[in-house]
Structure 1
């Protein structure tokens, strides 16, 4: 079953937003987290060629996978989550590759999702077209979080990794923390879950602190 299929709920579909607000010059040095590349976690090649867009992202969309809240916090498990997610997106959804740009495991491991996303992020001026939210795939970086967060919050390791990842994405692309949004803000879905969605204001505040 398409793992997003059973998450549809109330919400409004919105189109592309305005460009991200530039960060102050002092907020340009968030430390790069350790992000494991597609090659490191054993990704399959994309089923079709991917598109590199010659502009930076202007928004971050937070998602949850809506899978089991595993208590296996190991790197090996994180890598398997990434492989399973890619297989689901290619084989079941018919997409070219993993839909989101990055994935964060419950153990706090940061993983490249769609091929080329890490190199584009490091460049700061290009992005890979995603497949994580209609109307947002050409401008928003999708960050998927392992687990289901309708009734429970993400574990501390994952939450801290999400803060660090968002801070790095914001500094690389010049995105205002105000542009950290949830999937449900732009699509008719319950993603990223009620509990994680409720924490987005705290996430924006933590990212502001992290980037100074």
Structure 2
């Protein structure tokens, strides 16, 4: 069933009255221009490995907690497309990202709020990201130049200029984005964007970028159950 078909199915549900739909704009999720109540279409939180679990370095200075974002930015790490899909490999790439961002870029911490490994493991990025998300907030990152104040970024391990995205990574990206859209009351068809939509970059790679419409539809389908 396609995402539009799922939306139509829910609209035909007699339990969703016109009054319910019209009142859903407050605290609801917009899908395809329609306001649907968050409580009825809540995507669960995927397993996210915390900074403690992957042994993150402490930030150089405290992280700033800010209001909820209006866009989810899809990134790739532009690192090697490794074939080690283990949790240990996921931790390794997360350390590499943090070291790059702190020691080379000079940032206070890892720049992105979340990372997904090629094996499909979701990990907390910048300090306090997971508690902020769970509270419907965000932390100020350093992942999308000049647009960090209103975006949340997901790093995806690998480089997708010519190679396709691993199934496990794409599946976890869809689950993660559905969770974020639920938490923040966002419509995936307008909220999910690529890094190149904001900055001059190849990120997240031509292949991954071309699959963003598919990702948005997958997220909408997950949110509609």
TM-score normalised by L of structure 1: 0.87
State the alpha-carbon separation in 1 of the partners of residues 76 and 166 from structure 2: 13
In structure 2, the partner of 1:34 is 47
State whether structure 2 residue 143 is matched by structure 1 residue 139.
Answer: no
State the alpha-carbon separation in 2 of the partners of residues 42 and 28 from structure 1: 34
In structure 2, the partner of 1:80 is 92
Deviation of the 1:81 alpha carbon: 0.7
In structure 2, the partner of 1:62 is 74
Deviation of the 1:132 alpha carbon: 0.3
State the alpha-carbon separation in 2 of the partners of residues 163 and 189 from structure 1: 23
Judge which range, 129-138 or 24-33, deviates more: 24-33
User: Which structure has the higher relative contact order (CA within 8 Å, separation 6+)?
Assistant: 1
State the alpha-carbon separation in 2 of the partners of residues 28 and 47 from structure 1: 39
TM-superposition CA deviations, 1:75-94 (whole Å, max 9, x none): 00101111110010000000
TM-superposition CA deviations, 1:27-53 (whole Å, max 9, x none): 541011000011110100001221111
State whether structure 2 residue 199 is matched by structure 1 residue 187.
Answer: yes
Structure 1 SS opposite 2:53: helix
In structure 2, the partner of 1:96 is 108
State the alpha-carbon separation in 2 of the partners of residues 90 and 48 from structure 1: 11
State the alpha-carbon separation in 2 of the partners of residues 153 and 145 from structure 1: 12
What CA RMSD, in Å, does the superposition of the two structures yield over aligned residues? 1.1
Q: Which has the higher helix share?
A: 2
Q: How many residues align?
A: 190
Moved over 6 A (4+): none
In structure 2, the partner of 1:7 is none
In structure 1, the partner of 2:132 is 120
TM-superposition CA deviations, 1:62-120 (whole Å, max 9, x none): 00000000000000010111111001000000001010000000000000010111001
State the alpha-carbon separation in 2 of the partners of residues 75 and 47 from structure 1: 26
**Which ranges of structure 1 fall in alignment gaps of 5 or more residues?**
1-20
State whether structure 2 residue 165 is matched by structure 1 residue 154.
Answer: yes
TM-superposition CA deviations, 1:105-139 (whole Å, max 9, x none): 00000000101110011111x21001001122111
